[in-house]
Amino acid sequence: MKGGLNGPPFLLAAHLVGEYGATFPMPLAERLTELVEPSLEAMGYALVRLHLSGRTRPTLQVMAERRDGRPMSIDDCTAISRSLSALLDVEDPIPDSYTLEVTSPGLDRPLVRPEDFDRFVGAQAQLETRRPLDGRKRFRGRLLGRDGLGGVRVVAAEGEVTIPLAEVARARLVPDPATIAAALRRHHPH
């Protein structure tokens, strides 16, 4: 399984994680990735994350970004939704009815691939670990990238910390005023 820009999204590493801790077996995660990813790539997009939630009427969230680095638009999400809807209707990988939701990563994008921690060096991020490290599970600070030994380095309020990548349960960017201003300039260059 290839996944994302350079590697598999974390949520697909063992299971698709659903609401209330419900998990979906890896074959479903693999099958969805095998269906969705090539279609996105052919359209000029990259898969950021797949997320299946809900029990009564599940929602399959497909988070994608443009491969050319330009911001996602509603038209991009609409095109992806139409293409994936047709594909998933034919292939029918989810046995029950579900809702397809296509989203862009946004300024508070999740960091799901190891490469993301290098791609966003210098950005503010929030990481949550699976187990407490030095008595805490939440870390917030500026990303310094991976250390080459399986860890991600962050400058937090108390100094630099290295968090084993295998212990990262969730991670996302935390937009600061400079990031927001830059995004506004990209969307409205006048």
For the domain spanning 10-103, the CATH number is 3.30.300.70
Specify the fold of 116-179. Answer: SH3 type barrels. (2.30.30)
pLDDT recorded at residue 29: 82
pLDDT recorded at residue 11: 38
- The rounded distance, in Å, linking the Cα atoms of 190 and 151 is 41
- The rounded distance, in Å, linking the Cα atoms of 123 and 57 is 36
Rounded mean pLDDT for each run of 10 residues along the chain, 190 residues in total? 37 36 63 94 95 88 94 95 95 90 93 94 96 94 95 94 96 86 68
Within this chain, domains 10-103 and 116-179 share the same CATH topology: no
> Would you list the domain boundaries of the chain?
10-103, 116-179
